[in-house]
Amino acid sequence: EIVLTQTPLFLSVTPGQPASISCKSSQSLLHRDGKTYLYWYLQKPGQPPQLLIYEASNRFFGVPDRFSGSDSGTDFTLTISRVEAEDFGVYYCMQSIQIPLTFGQGTKVDIK
Amino acid sequence: EVQLLQSGGGLVRPGGSLRLSCAGSGFVFDKYGMNWVRQAPGKGLEWVAAISGRGDTTYYADSVKGRFTISRDNSKNTLYLQLNSLRPDDTAVYYCALDSWGQGTLVIVSS
Protein backbone atom coordinates (compact mmCIF):
# COMPACT_ATOMS: atom_id res chain seq x y z
CA GLU A 1 0.00 0.00 0.00
CA ILE A 2 1.29 3.45 -0.94
CA VAL A 3 1.62 5.73 2.08
CA LEU A 4 1.17 9.48 1.64
CA THR A 5 2.59 11.65 4.41
CA GLN A 6 1.38 15.24 4.62
CA THR A 7 3.12 18.06 6.44
CA PRO A 8 2.26 20.16 8.27
CA LEU A 9 -0.91 18.77 9.81
CA PHE A 10 -2.03 22.22 10.93
CA LEU A 11 -1.44 25.56 9.28
CA SER A 12 -2.59 29.00 10.36
CA VAL A 13 -2.25 31.55 7.59
CA THR A 14 -2.73 35.27 7.18
CA PRO A 15 -4.84 36.41 4.20
CA GLY A 16 -2.67 37.63 1.38
CA GLN A 17 0.30 35.50 2.43
CA PRO A 18 1.48 32.35 0.62
CA ALA A 19 1.05 28.86 2.01
CA SER A 20 2.28 25.44 1.03
CA ILE A 21 1.50 21.85 1.98
CA SER A 22 3.77 18.88 1.34
CA CYS A 23 2.75 15.34 0.47
CA LYS A 24 5.46 12.69 0.35
CA SER A 25 4.74 9.36 -1.29
CA SER A 26 6.31 6.03 -0.32
CA GLN A 27 6.45 5.05 -4.02
CA SER A 28 6.60 6.70 -7.41
CA LEU A 29 3.25 7.90 -8.70
CA LEU A 30 4.51 8.27 -12.28
CA HIS A 31 2.70 5.88 -14.60
CA ARG A 32 4.17 4.53 -17.82
CA ASP A 33 1.54 6.64 -19.64
CA GLY A 34 3.48 9.71 -18.50
CA LYS A 35 0.87 10.90 -16.02
CA THR A 36 1.47 11.34 -12.31
CA TYR A 37 -1.55 10.11 -10.34
CA LEU A 38 -1.55 12.54 -7.44
CA TYR A 39 -4.55 14.70 -6.59
CA TRP A 40 -5.26 17.52 -4.13
CA TYR A 41 -8.65 18.08 -2.50
CA LEU A 42 -10.08 20.70 -0.15
CA GLN A 43 -12.83 19.72 2.26
CA LYS A 44 -14.77 22.44 4.02
CA PRO A 45 -16.83 21.62 7.12
CA GLY A 46 -19.98 19.68 6.33
CA GLN A 47 -19.13 19.39 2.64
CA PRO A 48 -17.67 16.70 0.39
CA PRO A 49 -14.10 17.14 -0.77
CA GLN A 50 -13.66 19.26 -3.88
CA LEU A 51 -10.96 18.57 -6.42
CA LEU A 52 -8.35 21.31 -6.76
CA ILE A 53 -5.43 19.70 -8.62
CA TYR A 54 -5.29 16.55 -10.73
CA GLU A 55 -2.27 14.68 -12.06
CA ALA A 56 0.01 16.59 -9.70
CA SER A 57 -0.05 19.96 -11.41
CA ASN A 58 -3.28 20.56 -13.36
CA ARG A 59 -5.93 22.85 -11.92
CA PHE A 60 -9.45 21.45 -12.08
CA PHE A 61 -12.21 23.44 -13.77
CA GLY A 62 -13.07 26.61 -11.93
CA VAL A 63 -10.21 26.41 -9.43
CA PRO A 64 -8.60 29.83 -8.92
CA ASP A 65 -5.10 30.25 -10.31
CA ARG A 66 -3.70 31.05 -6.86
CA PHE A 67 -3.68 27.26 -6.35
CA SER A 68 -0.82 25.33 -7.96
CA GLY A 69 0.66 21.86 -7.66
CA SER A 70 4.21 20.71 -8.25
CA ASP A 71 6.21 17.55 -7.89
CA SER A 72 9.78 16.43 -7.50
CA GLY A 73 9.99 12.68 -7.69
CA THR A 74 7.92 11.38 -4.80
CA ASP A 75 7.55 14.79 -3.15
CA PHE A 76 4.49 16.85 -4.00
CA THR A 77 3.55 20.37 -3.01
CA LEU A 78 0.32 22.33 -3.06
CA THR A 79 0.93 26.06 -3.03
CA ILE A 80 -1.52 28.88 -2.48
CA SER A 81 0.12 32.03 -3.79
CA ARG A 82 -2.03 34.45 -1.76
CA VAL A 83 -4.38 32.89 0.75
CA GLU A 84 -7.95 34.14 0.84
CA ALA A 85 -10.45 33.80 3.66
CA GLU A 86 -12.43 31.15 1.75
CA ASP A 87 -9.42 28.80 1.59
CA PHE A 88 -9.96 27.42 5.11
CA GLY A 89 -10.63 23.70 5.53
CA VAL A 90 -8.78 20.41 5.38
CA TYR A 91 -6.53 19.66 2.41
CA TYR A 92 -5.90 16.07 1.35
CA CYS A 93 -3.59 14.53 -1.19
CA MET A 94 -4.62 11.25 -2.82
CA GLN A 95 -2.95 8.73 -5.13
CA SER A 96 -4.72 6.58 -7.68
CA ILE A 97 -1.85 4.80 -9.41
CA GLN A 98 -2.31 1.70 -7.26
CA ILE A 99 -5.14 -0.06 -5.49
CA PRO A 100 -5.92 0.62 -2.69
CA LEU A 101 -6.29 4.31 -3.40
CA THR A 102 -4.81 6.12 -0.42
CA PHE A 103 -5.05 9.57 1.10
CA GLY A 104 -2.74 11.70 3.17
CA GLN A 105 -3.77 12.38 6.77
CA GLY A 106 -5.07 15.84 5.90
CA THR A 107 -3.78 19.33 6.65
CA LYS A 108 -6.14 21.61 8.51
CA VAL A 109 -5.81 25.22 7.40
CA ASP A 110 -7.32 28.06 9.32
CA ILE A 111 -7.23 31.73 8.53
CA LYS A 112 -5.80 34.15 11.07
CA GLU B 1 -22.24 20.00 -15.09
CA VAL B 2 -21.36 16.73 -13.41
CA GLN B 3 -23.74 15.85 -10.59
CA LEU B 4 -23.74 12.86 -8.28
CA LEU B 5 -26.88 12.52 -6.16
CA GLN B 6 -26.73 10.03 -3.33
CA SER B 7 -29.49 8.24 -1.46
CA GLY B 8 -29.76 5.47 1.09
CA GLY B 9 -27.98 5.29 4.41
CA GLY B 10 -29.36 5.58 7.90
CA LEU B 11 -29.22 3.76 11.22
CA VAL B 12 -28.72 0.00 11.21
CA ARG B 13 -27.93 -2.58 13.87
CA PRO B 14 -24.63 -4.49 13.87
CA GLY B 15 -24.85 -7.36 11.42
CA GLY B 16 -27.46 -5.56 9.34
CA SER B 17 -27.46 -4.44 5.71
CA LEU B 18 -27.98 -1.28 3.69
CA ARG B 19 -27.77 -0.25 0.06
CA LEU B 20 -26.42 3.10 -1.03
CA SER B 21 -27.18 4.62 -4.43
CA CYS B 22 -25.49 7.34 -6.45
CA ALA B 23 -27.22 8.74 -9.55
CA GLY B 24 -24.93 10.44 -12.05
CA SER B 25 -25.76 13.12 -14.60
CA GLY B 26 -23.94 15.58 -16.81
CA PHE B 27 -21.43 13.06 -18.13
CA VAL B 28 -21.31 9.83 -20.12
CA PHE B 29 -21.82 7.53 -17.17
CA ASP B 30 -20.53 4.25 -18.58
CA LYS B 31 -17.25 5.76 -19.72
CA TYR B 32 -15.93 6.30 -16.20
CA GLY B 33 -14.82 4.09 -13.39
CA MET B 34 -16.17 5.22 -10.05
CA ASN B 35 -15.29 4.95 -6.39
CA TRP B 36 -16.85 4.86 -2.96
CA VAL B 37 -14.93 6.66 -0.21
CA ARG B 38 -15.93 6.95 3.44
CA GLN B 39 -15.12 9.24 6.32
CA ALA B 40 -15.65 8.20 9.91
CA PRO B 41 -16.75 11.00 12.27
CA GLY B 42 -13.89 13.44 12.79
CA LYS B 43 -11.48 11.29 10.76
CA GLY B 44 -9.80 11.37 7.37
CA LEU B 45 -10.80 9.83 4.05
CA GLU B 46 -10.74 6.09 3.40
CA TRP B 47 -11.19 4.53 -0.02
CA VAL B 48 -13.73 1.69 0.06
CA ALA B 49 -14.31 0.28 -3.43
CA ALA B 50 -13.97 0.97 -7.15
CA ILE B 51 -15.66 -0.28 -10.29
CA SER B 52 -14.81 0.01 -13.98
CA GLY B 53 -17.02 1.87 -16.44
CA ARG B 54 -18.55 -1.31 -17.80
CA GLY B 55 -18.92 -2.78 -14.34
CA ASP B 56 -16.88 -5.88 -15.11
CA THR B 57 -13.98 -5.11 -12.79
CA THR B 58 -14.25 -4.31 -9.09
CA TYR B 59 -11.79 -3.60 -6.29
CA TYR B 60 -12.23 -3.43 -2.52
CA ALA B 61 -10.39 -2.25 0.54
CA ASP B 62 -9.34 -5.13 2.77
CA SER B 63 -11.53 -3.72 5.55
CA VAL B 64 -14.73 -4.32 3.53
CA LYS B 65 -13.82 -7.23 1.26
CA GLY B 66 -16.41 -10.00 1.45
CA ARG B 67 -18.96 -7.73 3.16
CA PHE B 68 -19.53 -4.87 0.70
CA THR B 69 -20.41 -5.10 -3.00
CA ILE B 70 -20.02 -2.32 -5.53
CA SER B 71 -22.12 -2.44 -8.68
CA ARG B 72 -23.60 -0.18 -11.32
CA ASP B 73 -26.57 -0.06 -13.66
CA ASN B 74 -25.45 1.94 -16.67
CA SER B 75 -28.97 1.94 -18.10
CA LYS B 76 -30.02 3.95 -15.04
CA ASN B 77 -26.76 5.95 -14.66
CA THR B 78 -26.59 4.70 -11.09
CA LEU B 79 -23.82 3.38 -8.88
CA TYR B 80 -24.55 1.19 -5.86
CA LEU B 81 -22.84 -0.01 -2.71
CA GLN B 82 -24.38 -2.95 -0.89
CA LEU B 83 -23.24 -3.04 2.72
CA ASN B 84 -23.68 -6.36 4.56
CA SER B 85 -22.53 -7.67 7.94
CA LEU B 86 -22.18 -4.10 9.14
CA ARG B 87 -20.01 -3.35 12.14
CA PRO B 88 -19.85 -0.27 14.40
CA ASP B 89 -16.54 0.74 12.79
CA ASP B 90 -18.35 1.03 9.44
CA THR B 91 -20.07 4.13 10.81
CA ALA B 92 -19.15 6.94 8.43
CA VAL B 93 -20.28 9.32 5.75
CA TYR B 94 -20.06 7.48 2.46
CA TYR B 95 -19.28 9.38 -0.73
CA CYS B 96 -19.47 8.31 -4.34
CA ALA B 97 -16.63 9.93 -6.20
CA LEU B 98 -15.47 10.74 -9.67
CA ASP B 99 -13.70 14.08 -10.14
CA SER B 100 -16.70 15.56 -8.41
CA TRP B 101 -18.11 13.89 -5.31
CA GLY B 102 -21.64 13.16 -4.19
CA GLN B 103 -23.04 15.02 -1.21
CA GLY B 104 -22.42 12.07 1.08
CA THR B 105 -24.75 9.81 3.03
CA LEU B 106 -24.42 8.93 6.70
CA VAL B 107 -24.39 5.32 7.80
CA ILE B 108 -24.62 4.69 11.54
CA VAL B 109 -24.12 1.16 12.83
CA SER B 110 -25.29 0.92 16.42
CA SER B 111 -27.43 -1.24 18.66
What is the arithmetic mean of pLDDT over A7-33? 97
Strand bridging mode A67-72 / A58-59:
unpaired
User: Given a cut of 90, is residue A2 above it in pLDDT?
Assistant: yes
Each residue's pLDDT tens digit, B62-94: 999 999 999 999 999 999 999 999 999 999 999
Compare all CA atoms of chain A with the CA of B41 and give the residue at the minimum distance: A46
Nearest to A106 among B35, B44, B50 (CB): B44
Instruction: Give the pLDDT band of residue A25 (cuts 50, 70, 90).
Output: very high
pLDDT of residue B26: 92
Alpha-carbon gap, residue B27 to B47, rounded angstroms = 22
For CA atoms B26, B32, B36, B39, the dihedral sign is negative
Strands (E), A1-112: 4-7, 10-13, 19-25, 38-43, 50-54, 58-59, 67-72, 75-80, 89-95, 102-103, 107-111
* CB atoms B45 and A48 under 8 Å: no
Each residue's pLDDT tens digit, A81-102: 999 999 999 999 999 999 999 9
User: Given a cut of 90, is residue A3 above it in pLDDT?
Assistant: yes
Measured between CA atoms, how close is B95 to chain A, in angstroms? 8
Instruction: Give the pLDDT band of residue A112 (cuts 50, 70, 90).
Output: confident
Residues 6+ apart with CB under 8 A from B108: B10, B11, B12, B91
Q: What percent of chain A has pLDDT over 90?
A: 96
Alpha-carbon gap, residue B87 to B110, rounded angstroms = 8
Measured between CA atoms, how close is B47 to chain A, in angstroms? 6
Alpha-carbon gap, residue B54 to B105, rounded angstroms = 24
Q: What percent of chain A has pLDDT over 70?
A: 100
Interchain CB contact of A99 with B (< 8 Å) = yes
Question: Amino acid letter at B69?
Answer: T
Chain B contact probe: residue of A42, A101, A107, A108 with most B CBs at under 10 A = A101
Element (H, E) at B34: strand B34-39
pLDDT of residue B99: 87
Q: Is the CB of residue B6 less than 8 Å from the CB of residue B19? A: no
Residue B89 phi/psi, 5-degree rounding, is -75, 0
Each residue's pLDDT tens digit, B19-57: 999 999 999 999 999 999 999 999 999 999 999 999 999
Interchain CB contact of B99 with A (< 8 Å) = yes
Q: What is the dihedral of CA A52, A58, A62, A66, to 10 degrees?
A: 80
